[in-house]
């Protein structure tokens, strides 16, 4: 594989009569590269993640794992991507946590028993092994976020697209999740406002502003400074 994710001059608007919310985005993520996607509310982070799996209409060219995204390829492309939605409720389908996480593997033809054996270590590493028989609909926000992340990780996809993975986590869970993501050799693009979390996981930082890439750099020091300046030292 040459590239895990490639955007060539990509622009997105939700409807033809709307203004573009992403404009002329070009971005390449190498296999195994971990990239943070930063930017203020409404800058286009979630839209960019959605466009990478064909959930919003786009102009330009997007490739995932060297396959160009089109109507014909979007299904196999989605099989190659672990996606964590910002609102985890959107991806919970089953009445019990273990079945819900195992489902991705069963869809790939892995028998239920083996699927569940593979799920358990991931649940353990995310601190949710005790939730296996619980209903996903009765979990706390942070528990639900961990369950959804386990679902994104379990098939060991070559690309992870994670929308605010640390948003609902407590400080312990946040650190453990960062450690887990940092230990994977999977390419990932992580939309987040949590610069500290991004610095623990990522070695490249892309900043979106009003739908364009404002900054793309490998230095967490520089990104910290940039972030504090652009937010008026709100987090300093």
Ligand X SMILES: Nc1ncnc2c1ncn2[C@@H]1O[C@H](COP(=O)(O)OP(=O)(O)OP(=O)(O)O)[C@@H](O)[C@H]1O
CB 7, min distance to ligand X, A = 14
Distance (Å, whole) CA 161 – CA 35 = 10
CB 62, min distance to ligand X, A = 15
Distance (Å, whole) CA 37 – CA 201 = 12
Of 37-45, 67-75, 119-127, 128-136, the window that binds ligand X (rule: CB under 6 A) is: 37-45
User: If binding is defined by CB under 6 A, does position 6 make contact with ligand X?
Assistant: no
Q: Cα 120 from chain centroid? A: 21
Whether 94 and 147 have beta carbons less than 8 Å apart is answered as no
Interface residues toward Mg ion, by CB under 5 A: 45-46
> Which one of ligand X, Mg ion, none is in contact with 104 (Cβ closer than 5 to 8 A by kind)?
none
Lookup result for tokens 């590239």? 3
Of 44-52, 61-69, 88-96, 220-228, the window that binds ligand X (rule: CB under 6 A) is: 44-52
Q: Is the Cβ of residue 100 or residue 164 nearer to Mg ion in the bound state?
A: 164
User: If binding is defined by CB under 6 A, does position 46 make contact with ligand X?
Assistant: yes
* Interface ranges with ligand X (CB under 6 A): 14, 18, 21, 39, 41-47
């Amino acid at each position: 594989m040459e590239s895990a994710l490639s955007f060539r001059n990509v622009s997105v608007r939700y409807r033809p009569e709307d203004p573009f919310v992403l404009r002329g985005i070009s971005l390449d993520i190498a296999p195994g590269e971990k990239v943070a996607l930063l930017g203020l509310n409404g800058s286009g982070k979630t839209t960019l993640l959605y466009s990478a799996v064909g959930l919003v209409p786009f102009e330009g060219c997007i490739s995932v794992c060297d396959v160009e995204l089109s109507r014909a390829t979007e299904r196999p492309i989605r099989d190659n991507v672990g996606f964590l939605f910002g609102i985890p409720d959107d991806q919970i389908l089953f009445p019990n946590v273990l079945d819900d996480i195992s489902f991705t593997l069963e869809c790939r033809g892995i028998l239920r028993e083996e699927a569940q054996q593979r799920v358990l270590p991931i649940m353990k590493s995310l601190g949710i092994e005790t939730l296996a028989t619980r209903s996903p609909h009765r979990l706390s926000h942070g528990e639900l976020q961990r369950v959804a992340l386990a679902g994104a990780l379990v098939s060991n996809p070559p690309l992870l697209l994670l929308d605010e993975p640390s948003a609902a986590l407590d400080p312990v869970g946040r650190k453990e999740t960062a450690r887990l993501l940092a230990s994977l050799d999977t390419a990932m693009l992580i939309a987040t406002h949590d610069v500290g979390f991004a610095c623990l996981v990522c070695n490249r930082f892309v900043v979106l502003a009003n739908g364009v890439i404002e900054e793309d750099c490998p230095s967490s020091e520089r990104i910290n400074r940039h972030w504090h300046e652009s937010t008026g030292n709100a987090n300093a």
